[in-house]
Amino acid sequence: MRDDPSGAALLNAARLALTGEVMPALTGRARYVAAMVANAMGIAAREIEQGGGAARTWDRALATAGTATCADLVTAIRAGRHDADPVLYAALAETAAAAAEIWKPPVPAGGA
């Protein structure tokens, strides 16, 4: 049983209030800091919503590589045991994409 609105929904509402109602009145350093706060709230909200999926990409990457821990995978890559390995590459690309989309949501085509 979870109370609504959820933590992520609260963070999103708070972020919109900050960017829509508070930030327009700010200038200089205060505006810059407020933008960073809004950015941090967005990351935290996306992590709550998407963090589970991102964690599963790591489980898949480690299973793909046949290693138990990230540290073992690092050792194997440095030793050259995965040079140009297309299977590991695809798994790593998935982990990076999942984590990067928590950092910044994908921009719709042509919207940059």
Partner 1 sequence: MSAMLDDDRREALRDWIAGRLGSSTLIIDEIRPLSGGSIQENWSVRVRMDGETRGFVLRKDATATIASSLSRAEEFAILEAVHAAGACVPEPVGFCHDDEVLGAPFALMGLVEGVGLGPRIAKDLSLGGDRVGLARRLGQELARIHAIRPPQPALAFLGEPDAQPALARISTLRAKLDALRATRPSLEWGLRWAERHVPRNADSVLTHGDFRTGNYMVDGRGLTAILDWEFSGWGDPLSDLGWFCAECWRFGRSELEAGGIAPRAAFYEGYEGHSGTRIDDAAVRYWEIVAHLRWAVIALEQGHRHVSGAESSLELALTGRLVPDLERAVLRDTSPDRWSATHA
Contact footprint for partner 1 (CB under 8 A) = 33, 36-37, 39-40, 43, 61, 69-71, 73-74, 77-78, 80, 82-86, 88-89, 92-93, 95-97, 99-100, 102-104, 112
CA dihedral 102, 52, 93, 40 (to 10 degrees): 20
Distance, in Å, from the CA atom of 96 to the CA atom of 6, rounded to the nearest integer, reads: 26
Helix, strand, coil shares of the chain, percent, nearest 5, are 75, 0, 25
Q: How far is CA 27 from the centre of its chain?
A: 29
Distance, in Å, from the CA atom of 93 to the CA atom of 86, rounded to the nearest integer, reads: 10
Nearest residue (CB) to partner 1, 3 versus 83: 83
Nearest residue (CB) to partner 1, 63 versus 100: 100
Q: How far is the CB of 3 from partner 1 (least distance, A)?
A: 27
Q: How far is the CB of 60 from partner 1 (least distance, A)?
A: 12
Q: Which of 47, 46, 25, 45 is nearest to 34 (CA)?
A: 25
Nearest residue (CB) to partner 1, 1 versus 107: 107
Q: How far is the CB of 2 from partner 1 (least distance, A)?
A: 26
Nearest residue (CB) to partner 1, 11 versus 88: 88
Q: How far is the CB of 20 from partner 1 (least distance, A)?
A: 20
